[in-house]
Amino acid sequence: MNKIDIVKKIVMENKKVPLDKVGEAFMPTNIALCKYWGKRDVELNLPVTASLSIALPKKGTDTKIKLLDSEEDADIIYLNEKKVNKSHVFYKRISEFLNLFRVNNKSFHVDTVSNIPVAAGLASSASGFAALVGALNDLFDWRLTLDKQSVLARLGSGSAARSFWSGFVFLNKGIKSDGMDCFAESIECNWKELKIGLLMLDNSEKYISSRKAMNISVDTCPFYKVWPETVDSAIEKTFKAIESKDFTLLGETAEKNAMAMHSIMLSSYPAIDYSIDKTHLERKKVWELRKNGVEVYFTQDAGPNIKLLFLEKDFEKVKEAFPEMEEIDLFFSMN
Ligand code: PMV
């Protein structure tokens, strides 16, 4: 089964689109509290485990797309108002993804604006591929449900499947070989007191893509076999925590899961280490703060940056310890 087969299952026919029509979508980025790390199908980005995330509603990607005249021989891609060179990895990823949706071999003009640093472990590819699918859906007037769009976005990046909703989102791992049951869904909960603080320690591009890195972990980490049960148990606890608004359970589970993922990375070969010195210092500050009675936890993805989890009542104390932190409103409507 390849990606084209999946697209054909979802997008039955493409209606004729006028050249001046622009498709547009904004999608928020998401931070996994129970991480996806490892694929059961590398081609279709099917995960070994389910995952669970929270959206950062105002952080994300806005993408506009239109068809180009047939004389144009290649896609034209703009990122944050700058034309992206064809040799750039960003261009290649987008253009290869667009190959799945070409009509009469026509090229696309893509204009994408992201208010998060690209490829710095802040899930820019999640909102990026989700917004691209949303924009294509708009351009071709497919009128796909969000679970179908979630399946399509997953073909670009696993975490993108979770970027169509605000609030908490659960990505089913699915069991089907075509991945049609591997899509995300929103978890109903409005937890206004819950806050995330972003600690941007370094926004340069990651030295190894999460795509490559997770394959290395699956192939070489001697502890990878405990990862699926670790995530299953974290997901169960996180669901309980969300249901009962139990912040201690939510924070502890998220931090443990992030540390377990980074331990898997460190014990892969070659070892994968996304942390920098500042990452270690900031984690220790979190532990110190907790010892002193301030309930704050962290999570970390495929990059050195830290995301703090805390409750609104502790905002002043957390801000005092981390003055450079950017506070994110989580429960806020996207529309
Ligand atoms: O979707 P990818 O290929 O960018 O991988 C995401 C990996 C993590 O961010 C580390 C975990 C996650 O679930 O988002």
pLDDT tens digits, residue range 223-269?
999 999 999 999 999 999 999 999 999 999 999 999 999 999 999 99
Cα distances (angstroms) measured from residue 261 to each of 68, 145, 167, 254, 274? 43, 32, 23, 11, 11
**pLDDT tens by residue, 101-155:** 998 889 999 999 999 877 655 667 899 999 999 999 999 999 999 999 999 999 9
Average pLDDT over residues 73-97: 95
Is 73 a residue whose pLDDT tops 60? yes
Cα distances (angstroms) measured from residue 12 to each of 7, 154, 314? 8, 18, 51
Residues in contact with 91: Cβ distance below 8 Å, sequence separation at least 6, in sequence order: 75, 77, 84, 85
Using CA of residue 208, residue 214, residue 220, residue 226, what is the dihedral sign? positive
pLDDT of residue 329: 84
Is 69 a residue whose pLDDT tops 90? no
Q: What percentage of the chain reaches a pLDDT higher than 90? A: 88
Strand ranges inside 80-234, DSSP E: 82-83, 108-114, 168-171, 184-187, 194-199
Burial of residue 30 (CB within 10 Å: 0-12, 13-18, 19+) is buried
- Compute how many other C-beta atoms are within 10 angstroms of the C-beta atom of residue 309: 25
Q: Give, for 41, the enclosing helix (H) or strand (E).
A: strand 39-41
Best residue among 35, 118, 122 to mutate for probing ligand 1, ranked by most atoms within 8 Å of CB = 35
pLDDT of residue 64: 98
pLDDT of residue 194: 97
**Residue whose CA is closest, atom 9 of ligand 1?**
301
Is 277 a residue whose pLDDT tops 80? yes
Q: Which atom of ligand 1 is nearest to the CA of 121?
A: 9
**pLDDT tens by residue, 11-68:** 977 778 888 999 999 999 999 999 999 999 999 999 999 999 999 999 999 999 999 9
The pTM (predicted TM-score) of the whole model is 0.96
Could you tell me if 86 and 74 are in contact, meaning their C-beta atoms sit under 8 angstroms apart?
Answer: yes
Cα separation, 101 vs 17, in Å, equals 13
Span from the CA of 160 to the centroid of ligand 1 (angstroms): 8
pLDDT of residue 119: 61
pLDDT of residue 19: 87
Q: Which two tokens stand for residue 286?
A: 């979190």
What is the pLDDT confidence band of residue 332, given thresholds at 50, 70 and 90? Answer: low
pLDDT of residue 123: 66
Best residue among 150, 159, 272, 273 to mutate for probing ligand 1, ranked by most atoms within 8 Å of CB = 159
Cis peptide before 304 (omega within 30 of 0): no
CA 59-64-68 angle, to 5 degrees, is 155
**pLDDT tens by residue, 174-231:** 999 999 999 999 999 999 999 999 999 998 878 899 999 999 999 999 999 999 999 9
Span from the CA of 249 to the centroid of ligand 1 (angstroms): 22
Q: Which atom of ligand 1 is nearest to the CA of 34?
A: 13
